[in-house]
Structure 1
Amino acid sequence: MVQHAVAPGHADSAAPEASLPESHPKVSFWTLMLGAIGVVFGDIGTSPLYAFKESVAAAAAGGPVTREIILGVLSLILWSLVLVVTAKYVFILLRADNRGEGGTLTLVALAQRALGRRRGLVLMLGIAGAGLFYGDAVLTPAISVLSAVEGLKLATPELDPYVVPITLAILIALFMVQSRGTGRVAAFFGPIMLAWFAALALAGLLHIADDPTVMFAMNPVYAVTFFHHHPAVSLAVLGAVCLSVTGAEALYADLGHFGARPIRSAWLYLVFPALVINYFGQGALVLAHPSAAESPLFHLVPDWALLPMIGLATLATIIASQAVITGAFSLTRQAVQLGLLPRLEIRFTSETHQGQIYLPRVNMLLLFGVIVLVLIFGSSSNLSHAYGVSVFGAMAVDAVLAILVIWKGWRWSLGLTLAVMLPFLIIDLAFFGANLLKVFTGGYVPIILAAALMTLMWTWVKGTSILFEKTRKIDVPLLELVKMLEKSPPHRVKGTAVFLTSDPETAPAALLHNLKHNKVLHEKNVILTVRSVDVPRLEDEDRVKVEHVGDSFWRVQIAYGYMETPNIPRGLAILRKQGFKFDIMATSFFLSRRSIRPAAQSGMPLWQDKLFIGLAKSASDATDFFQIPTGRVVEVGTQVTV
């Protein structure tokens, strides 16, 4: 029902920030910055709970924790934050916006526009990135909340058996409230995360004096020499150090919500300093008291502050989980609009903010995945083995797509593009490769999940393409039908008929069946195609195109950006401004309901045919998806093979 098209490129594509819109003109910079602190940095902000601890454990490999290990790990963490987060995402990718929006699928849209027709590789990269993101969306809530609740063991060791049940209770409650919307809760995200980062910085600052020589780790030589002196554990340590930068992709994905400047300022002036101070404080504490390596973050605070810190950490991890759940909802809507997934039910939870959406099916699948992970792995240390594969797989995809966008879209020379971006891609691939060592101890989870989702998306893309080509061969060209009807017109009835179709060049099956069985034609007949374009949102003046193709026929195209949800009645109302008069209460919408059967000879294996048919059956009802009044819809059944 939805046709996917590409909007023409910008003339000023060589200047990546030239067309950046004035986002959020009615919201102050400080409000946006506080919101960014609350939503964007939840994931990376909770990394101190486990990143340093797991990195030291991997480096020591059961042996003593030495000064060389601490300084090497700290230097690796610091320079990972500098290169991966600050340089790659904050200073480069935040400039790769699509009318103010960011994220992996935005890069796909920009790369498709830059490359023109050569879109197969780009689409596969986008599918891979999206599949890996869903792995992150399942793992982040599990590891974040579990690591915070584990702090209870320090306060009261008797609570150890209850860590998993408490974690599950928090996560189930978090997913259950999604249907009510996050608007009111989100108002508290910023202040809570601000308090969390302040607590991280203060706790770290109090302990740097335990061993001031920890500051030597700012020298990148310690990171390099660590690999030289510890080759046996280097990859394992790299696989743990990467935990410190998980959530970096959120900087780019949430660009459209807050804008580049508030995100960049929040990172440079608050989040980055707070994280570095805390990590260095943890390092100094462990240097002075090696026994604290078991849970260094919670050992930073005095006994009287332990329970408040655990409570604040739990709130911070819930916020981090909320951000990634919301991101999964947004990514799914983009994937549906770009034709990577079938239609899914979307509920709006706010009357004023269209970005606040709830997808019941996605929410339940995420909850199921999170519960299974917590029950299988049981601790944040075990879960850390599963975490990095999806994160750095997605980051590597971002780097490859960014190379295409910068080279072809921004029109940099290939040499300059590779000089800037290739080091970041090498770092991402190094982290990704290091995490592949964990495949048999947990890394298989995101790989299996991503592979399954990639198979689903590719099957849907390929199946819809085959179906489109097959139906086009047997369909009647629209202009031929119009001429035939002008020569021998059928009986006319009053009102307007709107026939939805994915191919405006051919006569919709619903129109042909209406003529065949009812032998009538309405006074006005609209052949309507809904297109998805590779920009996030469209202005109303660019949304609708109308073409008169015959005595009583009009061909109408309504376009929506990949961040929008189609609303056909509202889109048709724009036609009145273009002189097309009709009464919505005297309008009937004709939809074709296809019954798909596997063909003897198909472009896909039989199992993939059946998977595609299953996906098609699971698609949300077109009437609900396009927000058409149910009392005005006529559905006509047709049978097709794929």
Structure 2
Amino acid sequence: MSSEVVVEGMENNGDHGNTKQKHHVEQVSDDPFAFTGKKLSWQKLQRNDSLDMESRGFYKSSLACRGRSMSVIMQLAFQSIGIVYGDIGTSPLYVYASSFVDGIKNNDDILGVLSLILYTITLIPLVKYVFIVLKANDNGDGGTFALYSLICRYAKVGLTPNQQLEDTEVSNYKLEVPENNRIKMASRLKSKLEKSSFAKIFLLLVTMLGTSMVIGDGVLTPCISVLSAVRGIKEADSSITENGVVGISIAILICLFMVQRFGTDKVGYSFAPIICVWFAFIGGIGLFNFIKYDPTVAKAINPKYIVDYFRRNKKDAWISLGGVVLAITGTEALFADVGHFTVRSIQISMCSVTYPALVLAYTGQASFLRKNNDLVSDTFYKSIPHPLYWPMFIVAVMASIIASQAMISGTFSIIQQSLSLGCFPRVKIVHTSAKYEGQVYIPEINFILMIACVAVTAGFKSTTKIGNAYGMAVVFVMTLTSALVVLIMIMIWKTQILLVISYVLIIGSVELIYLSSVLYKFREGGYLPLAFAAVLMSIMCIWHGVYRRKYYYELDHKISPEKLKGITSGKNLARMHGLAIFYSELVEGIPPIFEHYVRNIPAMHSVVVFVSMKSLPISKVAAEERFVFRQVEHEELSVFRCVARYGYTDVQNEEEAFEDLLVKRLKEFIIGGGFLASERVNSGEFEGVEKEVEAIEKAVRGGVVHLIGESEVVAIEGASMRKRILINYAYNFLKKNLRQSDKLFDIPHKRMVKVGMTYEL
């Protein structure tokens, strides 16, 4: 049985005073008990930060940077082949069929489409992503949130007011910003972003849209990859119907999602040999077909054939771009998965294996089609030499499963990032690997993805329609990434304006042309990713909107040190032995829910630690830099504040129990920088510090209780209809049907007390 106490009530709107005080701190020896009597200068060590209004002292440690040897980079390059390139590597299964939906009308059209494919995979995956976008990684991590986090760290564009001075002390927080004569333009843009509420909201919406589209990729990649691979079985047995192919595909998809809970760490790095075999097959067969059928297709390197293709086909050529763009599906995953590897390792694997194999594959298929125009609807399997059919079929199915696995895992990681930044409702994050970083599993999302994949496969049945939807998601994400990268170029990299303009004119123009083409196919399946995005963005906007309102409410009603002193000095308040850990989302100050708790239960533990879980706009926070402690000004209270800082890829359920880690760090704080510790060290008096440590240990022995602030929210009386629907119905519906805080932090139920309170927003 879980012993939970729930205290509920209504908070009246009121104002709490805030006080701002300045305090100083001195450094002590790295050895906790190696105190010295030497007096240090208070002036030199003067320090002010956002927690000074309630506290004194701080705990900080450094993080050493580690480089990677060339042998490690080469190993990572090999491993990346299995994780990063499954999606783009399986594109030859369906690109020509999706480009020539109505058949080949002119033999030279093949040269035009081949030329388009070659220049597209050169310009977008190779030039844009591998050599430009990968450099916009956030301490090694990539994806839409990585770009947003870089912008948030450089400019104050976050909508939640939790930026604090001490966050810049985290070793990987600061950006290496070049100093050059373009700093004026960067400063001007930064200033405009920080002053514009519209710009802040727009940036967040762009990030949410990009994230939603990548999640849409997680639905569509398994559908089109598995369906295209399985379709090849009709070559061996023509009696198998279209419904039979769809049924087999759905069975594979269900099995794929059912094994997700076991994690991918045990099999993830076995993917590389399979994908290497796949690239060897498609590259080798492509070279064979190129020599056998029509080597003259090499002239497609001349962009003149693109111009001729558009002159002949006009609107039809423009529409066919929606099929050509499928040649670069999975490119965003290349950026999103850089955190598992390194920029250099992905550059090596792309240039040495993936790009050459894809060029040979598409060139070989074009040579085959020049002699077999009527087989375009099933180009891939028809172009395979007969003795290699079964081996190629087996490898194709395996490669499609791997491509699907990579996108599903990527979807889990993206949801985790959204959750950590307050942009997604609470869901359970399961860390499936102690060895490999970033391997997470989310049960609720896995089930929803499985249902969506089965529904799309059974409903569309055709790879052409799924391809239309897939192309929409792919191009939308790429366009949004380009927009964020341009901001980073100007503000952070301070790139020459001519290079920025060149990027926009070349890369941006190409992507906008492709976007216009896929939008034309909106009714033919293109609406699907936009529908996914609309649902996901609605959920994100509802959750984040109320989350911010609630945060501002707590910020406006936080308890000042003076009020805390008054609350705890009441005659009826009993002090009992033990350590109370009080969880809240408020980063700056003591939350109003504590006053509500004491008013209803007039008892207070001998030691109280207010813990705030804070997400920083960086990918990871080192364990030794996780906690920031302060002691509330009135030392006789034994009340501490703690901010537990996490990056958006960190998992909060760590190997070491959170409770044990917090107590250990708290004692280190008291020894190394607690309240008046410096004065005691300088005077040679150790007793005071030792007594404080002993008091903590005694409190732990007396029992640790976890107090969770579970605030309910309702719209204030007289609020507009829109506000009432947003808060009372939409937000509370999401909250009631998802995980609670105790399940997210693995808090022991037998030592947990829930404190309920209602905020009127």
TM-score range, shorter chain: over 0.9
Partners of 2:427 and 2:237 in 1: how far apart? Answer: 45
The match for 1:618 is 737
Give the letter for the 2:601 counterpart.
N
Say if 2:140 is the partner of 1:100. Answer: yes
Partners of 1:262 and 1:640 in 2: how far apart? Answer: 50
> Kindly tell me: are residues 351 and 113 of structure 1, through their superposed partners in 2, closer, same or farther at Cα, counting changes over 3 Å?
closer
What does the per-residue CA deviation read over 1:172-192, in whole Å, with 9 as the maximum and x for residues that have no partner? Answer: 000000011112221320000
Say if 2:214 is the partner of 1:124. Answer: no
Does the residue aligned with 2:434 lie in a helix, a strand or coil? coil
Of 624, 645, 651, 1:565 maps to: 651
User: Which TM-score applies when normalising by structure 1?
Assistant: 0.92
The match for 1:519 is 602
The match for 1:175 is 257
Give the superposition deviation at 1:617. 1.9
What does the per-residue CA deviation read over 1:59-84, in whole Å, with 9 as the maximum and x for residues that have no partner? Answer: xx34x442220000000000000101
Give the superposition deviation at 1:37. 0.4
Partners of 1:70 and 1:42 in 2: how far apart? Answer: 25
Partners of 1:427 and 1:263 in 2: how far apart? Answer: 24
Say if 2:474 is the partner of 1:391. Answer: yes
User: Which TM-score applies when normalising by structure 2?
Assistant: 0.78
* Farther-moved stretch of structure 1 (123-132 vs 602-611): 602-611
Say if 2:492 is the partner of 1:492. Answer: no
The match for 1:589 is 706
Partners of 1:596 and 1:574 in 2: how far apart? Answer: 33
Partners of 1:193 and 1:299 in 2: how far apart? Answer: 21
Give the superposition deviation at 1:504. 4.3
Give the superposition deviation at 1:308. 1.8
| 1:535-550 aligned within 5 A | 535-549=618-632, 550=634
Of 590, 598, 601, 2:719 maps to: 601
Partners of 1:366 and 1:302 in 2: how far apart? Answer: 36
| 1:241-640 aligned within 5 A | 241-473=324-556, 475-485=557-567, 487-488=569-570, 490-549=573-632, 550-551=634-635, 552-567=638-653, 568-569=658-659, 571-572=661-662, 573-579=664-670, 581=693, 582-583=696-697, 584=700, 586-599=703-716, 600-601=718-719, 604-609=722-727, 610-640=729-759
| 1:9-158 aligned within 5 A | 22=66, 28-57=72-101, 61-62=102-103, 64-117=104-157, 118=194, 119-158=200-239
The match for 2:27 is none
Report if the CA contact (8 A) 1:99-1:536 is conserved. yes
> Kindly tell me: are residues 479 and 242 of structure 1, through their superposed partners in 2, closer, same or farther at Cα, counting changes over 3 Å?
same
Partners of 1:611 and 1:413 in 2: how far apart? Answer: 46
> Kindly tell me: are residues 571 and 238 of structure 1, through their superposed partners in 2, closer, same or farther at Cα, counting changes over 3 Å?
farther
What does the per-residue CA deviation read over 1:589-621, in whole Å, with 9 as the maximum and x for residues that have no partner? Answer: 111222333444159444333211112223322
Say if 2:273 is the partner of 1:191. Answer: yes
> Kindly tell me: are residues 283 and 504 of structure 1, through their superposed partners in 2, closer, same or farther at Cα, counting changes over 3 Å?
closer
Give the letter for the 2:79 counterpart.
G
Partners of 2:612 and 2:82 in 1: how far apart? Answer: 40
Partners of 1:459 and 1:413 in 2: how far apart? Answer: 39
What does the per-residue CA deviation read over 1:307-327, in whole Å, with 9 as the maximum and x for residues that have no partner? Answer: 221111000000000000000
> Kindly tell me: are residues 213 and 20 of structure 1, through their superposed partners in 2, closer, same or farther at Cα, counting changes over 3 Å?
farther
User: Structure 1 stretches of 5 or more lacking a match?
Assistant: 1-5, 7-18
The match for 1:15 is none
Does the residue aligned with 1:459 lie in a helix, a strand or coil? helix
Partners of 1:239 and 1:555 in 2: how far apart? Answer: 55
Say if 2:353 is the partner of 1:234. Answer: no
Give the letter for the 2:732 counterpart.
I
Aligned residues: 621
Give the letter for the 2:219 counterpart.
V
Give the superposition deviation at 1:234. 2.3
Partners of 1:351 and 1:121 in 2: how far apart? Answer: 37
Partners of 2:623 and 2:119 in 1: how far apart? Answer: 46
Does the residue aligned with 1:537 lie in a helix, a strand or coil? coil
Partners of 1:443 and 1:23 in 2: how far apart? Answer: 44
What does the per-residue CA deviation read over 1:381-404, in whole Å, with 9 as the maximum and x for residues that have no partner? Answer: 221121111111111111001111
CA RMSD of aligned residues (A): 2.2
The match for 1:202 is 284
Partners of 1:227 and 1:571 in 2: how far apart? Answer: 65
The match for 1:10 is none
> Kindly tell me: are residues 21 and 88 of structure 1, through their superposed partners in 2, closer, same or farther at Cα, counting changes over 3 Å?
farther
Give the letter for the 1:322 counterpart.
Q
What does the per-residue CA deviation read over 1:423-474, in whole Å, with 9 as the maximum and x for residues that have no partner? Answer: 212222221111011111111111111111111111111111122233444x
Q: Comparing both chains, which one has the higher relative contact order based on Cα–Cα distances under 8 Å and sequence gaps of 6 or more?
A: 2
Partners of 1:335 and 1:519 in 2: how far apart? Answer: 38
> Kindly tell me: are residues 245 and 505 of structure 1, through their superposed partners in 2, closer, same or farther at Cα, counting changes over 3 Å?
closer
Give the superposition deviation at 1:288. 1.6
Partners of 2:749 and 2:538 in 1: how far apart? Answer: 34
Sequence identity, in percent? 32
* Farther-moved stretch of structure 1 (223-232 vs 243-252): 223-232
Does the residue aligned with 1:182 lie in a helix, a strand or coil? coil
What does the per-residue CA deviation read over 1:492-523, in whole Å, with 9 as the maximum and x for residues that have no partner? Answer: 11122121122244543442233112211211
Partners of 2:121 and 2:524 in 1: how far apart? Answer: 26
Does the residue aligned with 2:315 lie in a helix, a strand or coil? coil
Give the letter for the 1:478 counterpart.
S
Give the letter for the 1:578 counterpart.
F
Report if the CA contact (8 A) 2:428-2:442 is conserved. yes
Report if the CA contact (8 A) 1:136-1:391 is conserved. yes
> Kindly tell me: are residues 66 and 611 of structure 1, through their superposed partners in 2, closer, same or farther at Cα, counting changes over 3 Å?
same
Give the superposition deviation at 1:300. 2.2
* Farther-moved stretch of structure 1 (574-583 vs 203-212): 574-583
Does the residue aligned with 1:157 lie in a helix, a strand or coil? coil
Structure with max Cα Rg? 2
Does the residue aligned with 1:443 lie in a helix, a strand or coil? helix
> Kindly tell me: are residues 571 and 69 of structure 1, through their superposed partners in 2, closer, same or farther at Cα, counting changes over 3 Å?
farther
* Farther-moved stretch of structure 1 (430-439 vs 590-599): 590-599
Give the letter for the 1:614 counterpart.
F
Report if the CA contact (8 A) 1:349-1:357 is conserved. yes
Partners of 2:588 and 2:331 in 1: how far apart? Answer: 44
Partners of 2:366 and 2:70 in 1: how far apart? Answer: 43
